[in-house]
Every structure is written in structure tokens, then in C-alpha cells.
Structure 1
Amino acid sequence: MTRSTVWRAVSLAAAVAVSTLAAAPAAHAGTYAKTKHPIVLVHGFIGFDNILGIQYFYDIPNKLRDEGATVYIASVNPSQTTEFRGEELVQQMKQWAAKDGVTKFNLIGHSHGGPTVRYAAGTLPTMVASVSTVAGTHFGSKVADDILAGTTPGGGFDQTATAGLKLIAWLSGNKTTSDADLLTALKALSAPGSAAFNAKFPVGAPTTTCGTGPEKASINGNSMRWYSFSGTSVKTNGWDISDAILAETAKYFGTEPNDGLVSKCSSHWGRVVKDNYTWNHLDEINQVLGTIGANSPDPVSFYKQHANRLKWAGL
């Protein structure tokens, strides 16, 4: 079950990315989300920035821009170490800054994008105003731990899955396509890999087990805000094919609250604003293609509200 679950997830990500075109963005309508510094959205494991018009953060960049936000969408490797992905993000930030005269960014990362934006903050603190993570894999994922325990390095499964990940990277135009590797990413997403990363980048960590961290914390004298959010639901919409996959991966967590891939406690970093949205791991980014539970909050509105929070914080 372990191998088929992961391969289905890889296949689903590729299928979603190539099957439908996103709608064209509307004209600007307001200033509700107009932050002082641009927002950068960073995708997670098996993710992409944009493939044939399909956004990983489905329809979220467009709606943020409609409300006045300047939004950049990072393109980092879908399956690599946190440091590898983080360095790609750092280089893109430098390029955007040089091109557009930007001095600081508000970073928002989903899933593996959470530790990825923390790497950027720790490496380039002078250019980061805030760090926000949605279902960040800060303390690893039991799914990664269990898959690693049952996967033989160099076997047919990891090679086949890696080929699928390289396809996603190629379709998204990522320049490091050949570096995508399933086992490398899973090790980074494991509990031991996350612990090693946290030891190097500890700022914003919760002060107690499954607790909250500081809202304001500095790196090398550079003050920034830290926020985290997550969902704790799995089956949210019977018409969403991804719910069935996440229902399988959720079994790894037993009774521990989770979104199908990340536990509630693992998502905590900085100020925990809310950790029990009725979302699963894909609902958090308005996927698949906006298919959200009928009684769940609108993910697009959530990102606009958080941008407004940053705006009123002077960020």
C-alpha cells in the first residue's frame, strides 16, 4: 500500500497539472491585500509553480493581485532537500529584487515549502519581512518515515516515482529537473531529517511540544514576523478524487490530528494562528481545482485575509 499510495499521489499531481487550464486573471479590484512588501508563494513536495496555466496555489495568486498584492511564485525542485530548494528560492529572490527594486519579501510556504522559506529567511534575513507556513513539515511527516522504512534504495519503485517527479519538474520549466529524487526528498521530510534541519535553522520554533513559537523573532538583528496555519480534516468532498488518496496516507497518523500528510503538531512554527481548519493537505492550496468541502472556509479568502494581516502589521 505504501508504494501504490505514493505513486498515485505523483500521478495525480501530474494529471491535475496537465488536464485543465486556469482562468485568466481579472483586473485589480481593491487594496485589501496590498502589502508593503511583495508576497512569495512557495510550493511543497511533488509541487510546481505553474504548468500549462495551472497554478499550484489554485487561483490564489490571481485573487491576491485583484486585491492589490504584488505576488511572485517560486519555482523550486519538487523533490529535493530543503537546502537545495531553499537555495533555489534565495537565488530567485535576488533576481526579483534586482529586476524590480524589491527590498524585502513576505514568504508563504505550503508543506515542504514551509521549511524551504525558513531556509531563505535564515540565509537571506535582510530580505525577509515575514515567514508564513501552511501545513509546514517542520517536524517531519510520518508518511515519509514509514515509506522510507519500507522502500529499498535503488529499487524499481523509487526510480519510477522519481521519473514522475522529473516529469513534473520538466513540465513546470524548473531548471534543476535532473536533480529531482524521491528518496532524497523523503529523507528531508522525515523526522530525523527535519530535526537536523531545525538544529541549523531554529528561529521561530515552538517553545513547548506542540506549542506555539514567537510572532516576532530576529535573525542576525533582522526582525521578522512568523506565522503558521494548518488543517486537520481528510475527507472533505466526495467528488474530490484526492480525498481517497489522503484518506490512505492519513492512516499512518493513527488518532493524531492531521491533514492527510502533515500532523497538526508538525505544522507549528512561529505564532500558531489556527491549526484545525476543516481542510486536507490539498484543500489548503485550493486543490484539486477548487474542489473544497461544502462547509469548509474558502482557501482563497484565507490567503487574502492573511495578506491583510501582513498589511496591517506594516509588512
Structure 2
Amino acid sequence: MPVLGMVLLVAIVALALVTVLDLIRRVPLICAPVLALAVPVILNAPLLGWYLDRELGGRWRAPMIVLAVLLGYLWLRLQLAPIRDGVRLGPLTKILGGATPILYSLCYATILQAIVLPVVWVSWGALIPTGVLVTNLVWSVLSCLLLYLNGALRAVLLSKSLSVVSRVFLLGTLWIPVLGWIAGVGAGRTVRREYLAAVDRAEWERELPTDDRCATRYPILLVHGVGWRDRMLFNAWGRIPRYLKRHGASIYHGEQEAWGTIEENGKQVAARIAQVCEQTGSPKVNVIAHSRGGIDSRYAISTLGMGDRVASLTTMNTPHHGVRFADTATKLREPIYLKLAAVVNWIFAVAGDTTPDFLTSTMAFRTELAREFNRNTPDHPAVHYQSYTSVMSSAASDPRLAVPYRVIKALGEENDGLVSVDSAKWGEFRGVFRSTGRRGVSHGDLVDYNREDFHGFNVLAEYIQIVGELKQRGY
């Protein structure tokens, strides 16, 4: 038996064994060792097929066909279902997870072929029929193109973690040596972290008992911050209400305007508190407020007489002592700022605000106005006040908040991209949420702004714990 024939048979047996083990979910077929050996063979199938047929002859065509079938199955698995880990996730999440092995395979393939094809043409081009060389080249390019379209489109269309810049960079450079490899590997790593975070949440959810740990004595009123509405298009709380309800919480929303003044929004929050109490028959509510929603709620409690109807106020990332970035941003040249305010007011008037006032709303974040507000708005003695905040680990944690993050960080203050830790402290300060990963937890992450799972922080678990502790305290 020729040595080349023995190699062919060993390859068939090994690949068949791994394929069977994959089918019974003992060993994954789509893994680095298998792809490292199989991808070069697949990309150069016309050339290798010609060589094997020439060296081994017709007697070996049956084993060659078997190997081709096994490699074809592997190629289809890589293209259609690269992830078969047994974890129950949504189909779109599974499709997204498959982008990583496809992008890694593409980077490996382009590096490999950039070496193999020139060497073959220069060293053995005279010995190989031109038709075989051209066919192999076309096949290789089309195979890489398929990997490119499959992997890039999965990542660009389905990832919540990739920024717009990263998506454009990925699509535009994936075929450029070095830059393309950096883009492909970078996107693959980002998508893998996103997929693993989804796996972690699925496992957490599966182990989460069904109980009434969030069935507080008083109903929960969620009060959003500026720029949001309690409607589907501008929903400020993501998946949080749904998970709290699963554990017995009675959830209501503040329904104040997105860009109303503190006074106007405070009136709306006060009216909503009274309405929820009347609707449920409860004498009080627990208010959980994000960002400036905490200021609106404090105004409703202390200035508008809602103190007797509020058992507790929990603020999340609320700028109780102002926003240092706002001190700078609101000093823009007046015509520019007024034009920006007019545009925002128009957009949110269309969205449903009756009195949007971007200018006054943002001015209220200035530290001098925050000090004045705090002097005029003392805490109500019957209300339990507590606060939480979060911090970004770098400007890359949330590119949309990169500028304010850097401005506040330059002043020596940890922040969530808008609010510093010290500014968020009010009443009983319960702590700072940090991610165990490199991303950090931004201002928007603390209300599930992106409806996104990421490694090192589970916003759903944190809210379940916060509300569960309110119940334990008798609220």
C-alpha cells in the first residue's frame, strides 16, 4: 500500500470518527484542531484531488469520494450550524455565535492561501495543468468569499456589541492583509464574548427558582430619566420589568415626559403615585428611579407632598449633586445650543411630549443648580432613601458616552459616562456596580438600555436582588 494511500485512509477514519462523535455530541466537529487541518484541504480541493488521482490512480477514487463527502459535511456544518453546544438559546443568538468560528476560519484561510497559492504557482506551476491551477484559484477565492459573507453578515447584522465603526471596519477591511486579520479576529472575539454572556444568562435563568422573592409589600413604580418614555419605542427599562414580574413584583411606570422640566415631570410623577395607590389600594409605593428620574421623584416627594405615599426611593445613577460635564456642555455658544434644543424638542413633541424643554432639562444638571435644588428639597422623614451607581472601565465601554466619560474622568472622578460616583450618592449608598470583565457598566447598562447580555454583569439578577431586599426590609 502506498504511503499516500495510508495517509488518505487515516484521514478518512479520523474525520469519520470525529463526525460521529459530533453527531452524538461528544466532541465538537467545528473546533480549532479539526479546522486547522481541514480548511487547507477544502480550500485546495481541486489541486489535491488532481494530485491524489494522479499518484494513486483509479483504485483509490472510492476512498477519495468518501473523504470528499466527509469534508463537504464539515464545510456545510461550518457554514450553516457551526454552534451545536446543546444550550437552548434563540435562533438569532445561535446564528450570531457561529460568526466567531467562521471569521477565525476566514482569517486563517486568507493567511494560509496568501502563502500556499504563490508557492504552488512559482514552484510547481510548470508541472500542474493550467486548468487545475486556475480552478483551484477560483475555488479558493469563492470559498473565502463565502466565509467572508457568512461571518461578516452574521456579526454586522446581529451583534449588539459591535459599534458602527467596528462594523464598517470589518466589512471594509476583511480582505486587506493584516488589517483584515485584525478586524476579523477582533470582531470574532467580541461576538464570542457576547455569545458566552448569552449562554451564562441562559444557565442563570435555568437555575433561577420560580418564587415570589420580588413580591414587595408596596407596588414598584419605575421612573425613567430624561430622553425616555414609558412606551415601546423609547422604553427605558429593557427586560427588567418582565423579570421582576416573574418573581411576583407589581410593576408600574412613572409615565412622565422625556424632556420636561423637574417641576413639570415632578407633577406627573406625583399624579402617577396617587393614581397607582388608588388603583391598587396600597397606601404607598416603592419608587425606583434612574438618572434624573430620581430628581423628579424627590421633587414629587418633598415639594408636592407625596412623602406619605412613598415607602422608599431607590435611585440608580442619579446626578444628585449635578453633572460636571453639563457645566461645560451647557456653555456652548447660545445659537448652537438653542438650535440643538429646538431639534430635540421637535422630535420628542412628535413622540408624545406635550411640553418638551431640552434647554431647561439639561441646565438642571449643572452642579450649581443641583446644590440649590438640594437646599430647597429636603428628604422626607418617612421615606427610606437609598442609591446605587455604576462605573465604566474605559471610554470603550460605551462609545456614545466616551466624551463625557473622559471629561469627568479627567477631573479625577470614576463615572458611568455621565454621572460620577460621588454625585450619585444619596441617602443610604448601597454601592457601585462593576463588571468583572473589561467593559464596565455604563449609565445605560444599568437600565438594560441595549437589551444586551455581556460578560461580568447581569443587570436582571441585580434588580431581582434589589427588589428582593426591599421586600425583606418590609417595603
Under TM normalisation by the shorter chain, which class is it? 0.7 to 0.9
| Structure 2 Cα separation of the partners of residues 257 and 285 of structure 1 | 19
The answer to whether the 8 A contact 1:227-1:271 is kept is yes
Residue number in structure 2 paired with 1:200: 376
Amino acid of the residue matched to residue 294 of structure 1? H
Structure 2's unaligned 5+ residue stretches are 1-163, 165-208, 436-440
| Structure 2 Cα separation of the partners of residues 116 and 166 of structure 1 | 22
1:273 counterpart SS class: strand
Structure with higher Rg: it is 2
TM-score w.r.t. length of structure 2: 0.51
Residue number in structure 1 paired with 2:200: none
TM-score w.r.t. length of structure 1: 0.76
Residue of structure 2 aligned with 1:233, choices 392, 397, 408 = 392
Residue number in structure 1 paired with 2:268: 88
Amino acid of the residue matched to residue 197 of structure 1? F
Residue number in structure 1 paired with 2:460: 300
2:415 counterpart SS class: coil
Amino acid of the residue matched to residue 83 of structure 1? E
Residue number in structure 2 paired with 1:34: 215
The answer to whether the 8 A contact 2:261-2:357 is kept is no
1:179 counterpart SS class: coil
Per residue, is there more helix in 1 or in 2?
Answer: 2
Residue of structure 2 aligned with 1:138, choices 302, 315, 320 = 320
The answer to whether the 8 A contact 2:320-2:370 is kept is yes
Residues 75 and 196 (structure 1), Cα distance of their counterparts in 2 relative to 1, 3 Å cut: same
Say if 2:469 is the partner of 1:314: no
Name the % identity: 27
Alignment of 1:181-260 (within 5 A): 181-203=357-379, 218-219=380-381, 223-233=382-392, 235=394, 243-253=398-408, 254=410, 255-260=412-417
| Structure 2 Cα separation of the partners of residues 306 and 159 of structure 1 | 41
2:327 counterpart SS class: helix
Residue number in structure 1 paired with 2:278: 98
| Structure 1 Cα separation of the partners of residues 449 and 377 of structure 2 | 30
The answer to whether the 8 A contact 1:162-1:180 is kept is no
The answer to whether the 8 A contact 1:235-1:280 is kept is no
Residues 50 and 235 (structure 1), Cα distance of their counterparts in 2 relative to 1, 3 Å cut: farther
Amino acid of the residue matched to residue 69 of structure 1? A
The answer to whether the 8 A contact 1:108-1:134 is kept is yes
Residues 179 and 82 (structure 1), Cα distance of their counterparts in 2 relative to 1, 3 Å cut: same
Residues 162 and 34 (structure 1), Cα distance of their counterparts in 2 relative to 1, 3 Å cut: farther
Amino acid of the residue matched to residue 293 of structure 2? G
Q: CA deviation at 1:111?
A: 0.7
Residue of structure 2 aligned with 1:288, choices 442, 450, 455 = 450
The answer to whether the 8 A contact 1:234-1:260 is kept is no
Residues 111 and 30 (structure 1), Cα distance of their counterparts in 2 relative to 1, 3 Å cut: same
Alignment of 1:116-195 (within 5 A): 116-122=296-302, 123-152=305-334, 155-168=335-348, 170-171=350-351, 173=352, 177-195=353-371
Residue number in structure 2 paired with 1:275: 432
Amino acid of the residue matched to residue 314 of structure 2? S
Per residue, is there more strand in 1 or in 2?
Answer: 1
Residue number in structure 2 paired with 1:71: 251
The answer to whether the 8 A contact 1:112-1:137 is kept is yes
Structure 1's unaligned 5+ residue stretches are 1-11, 13-27, 204-217
1:305 counterpart SS class: helix
Higher RCO (CA < 8 A, seq sep 6+)? 1
Q: CA deviation at 1:235?
A: 4.6
Q: CA deviation at 1:229?
A: 0.4
2:383 counterpart SS class: strand
1:189 counterpart SS class: coil
